[in-house]
A and B are shown apart, each in its own frame.
Chain A
């Protein structure tokens, strides 16, 4: 069996169309509070370009191709790692009400704290 992938003409257009529709729907109802993390998160996702860079570099056979391929992997790796680090940091800051930092339900937390102590 041959598992090599071959995408041509219309198949590519179908993939593009479905993926674009998916992206549009996924982001659909995002609250404004998440705009920055989401921009950063989607920025991370297109970091998959590093995989393309690795492919191009591994298949390079001249010095020019190797140098440009090296730059591609370097930049793509920066995109991936930086995008992840920044997004993860931002999202880790969002606290939910269940966590004990919440102050609106102070009384409830005092009760909880009282039980613990």
Chain B
């Protein structure tokens, strides 16, 4: 029986590993993406079911506990999966970033816990395994506590980045302490010397320190940088899972973990590039702390206009490019926006959406939110594809976006966003900016665009403004018909 069990789980893991990679490949194109996640899902289901055959191959020490363990495993599986499934099905699309953060943290925690079981049970064979187990535990635990902090920040439970003097030094000390503890554990196991504390206490302290490091490392990072941080932890969890796979001799974990580790790293770099931030900059600098001194340099004033006038102006324009930002999602106005866009299209206006890579709070989130509102994705253009078209466009409609259209990124070397690629909304013949009030963007920088001669401001809640625009344009149609 053990031989057959090994054969079946081995084959199932092989198929699962293939399906994961094939599924991820399909997920890399919008056309095949929905089937990609399903392909990966079949692989996962197969792997989970097949691995219950481990009951025939458990070690002798665990044999007497087998029934209890099976019940525990099945109930943990059902409880964990149903809570997360329910939450994942019901959460609002705007809260997606923090959900990804928390699910990732769970994965990291699971990886850390598996390493802990191996460590506490003294089940590792040889030095290599012990070192890899400690590494898996370290990375998994950091990923868990770090992701929880990232979640709390995105959920606005933690509002401000926490920074204090000597923080970097403290972080370095805590990190080195974790490494030193791991080193000491390896040394103690290898040489067999008596440790001042029991081995299990040392392992507990090791986990305590690593969890603390994850918290300390994430606390000083600002909310705007959280997507990059989550992506880093996503890659880290992958790595930890890969290491765990080596420890428990499961190639499916090794392959899936390492594929995610590499893919996550690349994704992190792509995101950081889109935000014009280097990864080290995100992790070790104090974004938003600089450059608040400059004030009153901007000449001119913001020109407020009525929503209805702006709506009618767009109705008679030949082409409009809409630039949605996170403010649109906060006001839950995506559907109203698409309703307005459909009215314009019915009147013969060429309407396109221009989405900045970091629109929303996570790269690509704005695309998801627009898709949710029913906007077909071939109306949505990315920065590179549309930026040259602004000069020949009648109206740029900026809704709830700020920093991504700030010309300071092109011109002002002292600006913290200098060098970030922006959407050239200011090049359009006319710019309308829909904004709640006269506040600043996420980065806290003044936006010169709002003071330009060709720019008018429509103040108000995005939803209310769009309702007015829709009414104004509909009113025109009714008047013409009468």
Residues of chain A touching chain B, judged by Cβ–Cβ distance below 8 Å, are: 1-9, 12, 15-16, 19-24, 26-62, 64-66, 68-97, 99, 101-104, 106
Chain B 1-15 against A: per-residue CB contact (8 Å), 1 yes, 0 no?
011001100100100
Total of A-B residue pairs, C-beta within 8 Å: 439
In-complex Cβ contact of B73 among A20, A58, A84 (8 A): A58
Across the interface, which residues of A come within 8 angstroms of B87, CB to CB? 82, 85
Question: B10, A46: Cβ atoms under 8 Å?
Answer: no
- Please report the C-alpha to C-alpha distance between residue A24 and residue B25 in the assembled complex, in whole angstroms: 11
What is the chain A residue whose CB lies nearest that of B129?
A8
- Please report the C-alpha to C-alpha distance between residue A66 and residue B380 in the assembled complex, in whole angstroms: 50
Per DSSP, chain B at the interface is helix
- Please report the C-alpha to C-alpha distance between residue A87 and residue B200 in the assembled complex, in whole angstroms: 39
A104/B81 contact (C-beta < 8 A), A35-B271, A45-B40 known: no
Tell me how far the C-beta of B13 lies from the nearest C-beta in chain A, rounded to whole angstroms. 8
Across the interface, which residues of A come within 8 angstroms of B88, CB to CB? 81-86, 89
Question: B266, A24: Cβ atoms under 8 Å?
Answer: yes
A20/B76 contact (C-beta < 8 A), A7-B254, A45-B24 known: no
Q: Please name 20 pairs of A and B residues whose Cβ atoms are closer than 8 Å in the assembled complex, sorted by A.
A: A5-B6, A16-B242, A33-B382, A35-B364, A36-B365, A43-B100, A45-B44, A46-B104, A48-B44, A49-B114, A53-B114, A58-B69, A61-B62, A61-B65, A70-B76, A75-B106, A78-B103, A79-B106, A82-B103, A90-B371
Across the interface, which residues of B come within 8 angstroms of A36, CB to CB? 96-97, 100, 360, 362-365, 367-368
Q: What 8 new A-B contacts, CB under 8 Å, besides A19-B258, A36-B360?
A: A20-B258, A40-B100, A46-B238, A48-B257, A70-B73, A74-B79, A82-B102, A103-B379
Which residues in window 356-399 of B have CB below 8 A to A? 357, 360, 362-365, 367-368, 371-372, 374, 376-380, 382-383
What is the chain B residue whose CB lies nearest that of A16?
B258
Q: How large is the interface on B (under 10, 10 to 19, 20 to 34, 35 or more residues)?
A: 35 or more
A38/B267 contact (C-beta < 8 A), A26-B28, A60-B65 known: yes
Tell me how far the C-beta of B474 lies from the nearest C-beta in chain A, rounded to whole angstroms. 17
Across the interface, which residues of B come within 8 angstroms of A16, CB to CB? 242, 254, 258
Interface segment out of the listed B49-57, B213-221, B465-473: B49-57
What is the chain A residue whose CB lies nearest that of B63?
A61
Which residues in window 82-101 of B have CB below 8 A to A? 82-85, 87-89, 91, 93, 96-97, 99-100
What is the chain A residue whose CB lies nearest that of B77?
A77
Residues of chain B touching chain A, judged by Cβ–Cβ distance below 8 Å, are: 2-3, 6-7, 10, 13, 16, 20-21, 23-25, 27-31, 33-34, 36-38, 40-41, 44, 47-48, 51-52, 54-55, 57-59, 61-62, 64-66, 68-70, 72-73, 76-85, 87-89, 91, 93, 96-97, 99-100, 102-104, 106-107, 109-111, 113-114, 116-118, 120-121, 123, 128, 200, 230-231, 234, 237-238, 240-242, 244-246, 248-267, 270-271, 274, 342, 345, 355, 357, 360, 362-365, 367-368, 371-372, 374, 376-380, 382-383
Question: B89, A39: Cβ atoms under 8 Å?
Answer: no
Question: B47, A43: Cβ atoms under 8 Å?
Answer: no
Question: A74, B76: Cβ atoms under 8 Å?
Answer: yes
- Please report the C-alpha to C-alpha distance between residue A50 and residue B6 in the assembled complex, in whole angstroms: 18
Question: B264, A35: Cβ atoms under 8 Å?
Answer: no
In-complex Cβ contact of B249 among A6, A37, A83 (8 A): A6
What is the chain A residue whose CB lies nearest that of B51?
A51
A89/B364 contact (C-beta < 8 A), A16-B254, A23-B259, A54-B48 known: no
Tell me how far the C-beta of B300 lies from the nearest C-beta in chain A, rounded to whole angstroms. 34
A29/B259 contact (C-beta < 8 A), A7-B246, A79-B106, A81-B80 known: no
- Please report the C-alpha to C-alpha distance between residue A52 and residue B257 in the assembled complex, in whole angstroms: 11
What is the chain A residue whose CB lies nearest that of B72?
A70
- Please report the C-alpha to C-alpha distance between residue A2 and residue B7 in the assembled complex, in whole angstroms: 8
Question: B81, A42: Cβ atoms under 8 Å?
Answer: no
Question: A69, B379: Cβ atoms under 8 Å?
Answer: no
Across the interface, which residues of B come within 8 angstroms of A89, CB to CB? 88-89, 93
